[in-house]
Amino acid sequence: MYKLSFFLVAFVMLTSCGDKKTKSEDNATTTTSSDEGMPAAPEAAPDAATYDPNRGLGKFSTVDLGDKLDVAMAAEGEKIQSVKCSSCHKMTDEKLVGPGWKGVTSRHKPEWIMNFITNPDPMIDKDPKLQAQLEICLVRMPNQALADKDARNLLEFMRKNDGVK
Q: Could you report the per-residue pLDDT of 47-82, keeping only the tens digit for each?
A: 445 789 999 999 999 999 988 999 999 999 999 999
For residue 25, give the 3-state DSSP assignment.
coil
Residue 5 has pLDDT above 70, yes or no: no
**pLDDT bucket at 14, cuts 50 / 70 / 90:** very low
Name the nearest CA neighbour of 55 among 127, 145, 160. Answer: 127
Q: Which residue has the higher pLDDT, 133 or 3?
A: 133
Q: Could you report the per-residue pLDDT of 88-136, keeping only the tens digit for each?
A: 999 999 999 999 999 999 999 999 999 999 999 999 999 999 999 999 9
**pLDDT bucket at 19, cuts 50 / 70 / 90:** very low
Fold annotation for 55-165: Cytochrome Bc1 Complex; Chain D, domain 2 (1.10.760)
Task: Please tell me the predicted confidence (pLDDT) of residue 8.
Answer: 44
Task: Please tell me the predicted confidence (pLDDT) of residue 90.
Answer: 96
**Model pTM?**
0.71
Task: Please tell me the predicted confidence (pLDDT) of residue 23.
Answer: 39
Residue 13 has pLDDT above 90, yes or no: no
Q: Could you report the per-residue pLDDT of 21-54, keeping only the tens digit for each?
A: 433 334 333 333 334 454 444 434 444 457 899 9
